[in-house]
Amino acid sequence: MPPLFRRALVAFSAAILLAGCEAPAPTFNATDVTGAPYGRQLAMTDHNGQPRTLEDFRGKVVTLFFGFTQCPDVCPTSLSNMAEVMRLLGPDADRVQALFVTVDPERDTQALLAEYMPVFDPRFVGLYGSLEQTAEVAKEFRVFYRKSGDTSGMNYTIDHSAGTYVFDTQGRMRLYLKHGETPENIAADIRQLLEGR
């Protein structure tokens, strides 16, 4: 066998072996948005009155949902599903932080969020800001929201995006969960992120 051919064969064989050693790419139930050019900055106040950024939760998988406390169905359903995810994760749930950003800062006060969040899970954190901050964060995350119904007073409702963003332990946005995803599928995706996938 000519030396040049032998070297090429050895190099090819080594490449095949190395390819076989690489970890398979993760397969998620949710939409993989890794590398998206948005959803990188968040600066709001939590329901205990503390300023918060995404950096505060580095080391945990973070879920981020936008809604409002007077929402009749989508918001409580999403938060209830996330509470079930935490139950399914067992001890690993302590490595997950669920965040709820209100798109209704006129009605969702710190005190109201402080009462609302523990109804679902005492570890959940509600975030709020001024009208301007809320608009800025919603724009950063490409979240749609607008008042509807009787907008002349305080009896309005709010139409809004209903998905949830998921960040890995390094603070990178990785997944987008569509409304209605099952807790079992969400828990499976979060486990992969906790494993560093």
The annotated binding site for Cu cation is made up of 71, 75, 160
CA gap 91, 74 in Å, rounded: 27
Question: Which residues fall in the annotated binding site?
Answer: 71, 75, 160
Q: CB-based contacts of 80: which residues, under 8 Å, 6+ apart? A: 120
Q: Are strands 125-128 and 173-177 parallel, antiparallel or unpaired?
A: unpaired
- Backbone dihedral angles phi then psi of residue 165, each to the nearest 5 degrees: -90, 150
The answer to whether 38 and 141 have CB atoms below 8 angstroms apart is yes
